[in-house]
Amino acid sequence: MGIEVGGLLGLIILVLDVWAIVKTVQSNAGTGSKVLWIVLILVFPILGVVLWWLFGPKG
């Protein structure tokens, strides 16, 4: 039995993931750093967004 996220919470997580990916692509970080953050966000949707918000590329 895994953790299942659906409904409104799933939609919110999806929107946050897409927003984080767009902001990462628009940042001034290097290509390798961008790819690493995008993979992290895609593999770990909730944890990835939290880590991106705390430690991700700014600007």
Q: Where are the domains of the chain?
A: 7-55
Model pTM? 0.83
Copy the structure tokens of residue 9: 């919470």
Sequence-ordered list of residues with C-beta below 8 angstroms from that of 24, at least 6 positions apart, any chain: 34, 37, 38, 41, 52, 56, 57
Does residue 40 contact residue 51 with C-beta atoms inside 8 Å? yes
Span 1-45, pLDDT tens digits: 556 667 788 889 999 999 999 999 999 999 999 999 999 999 999
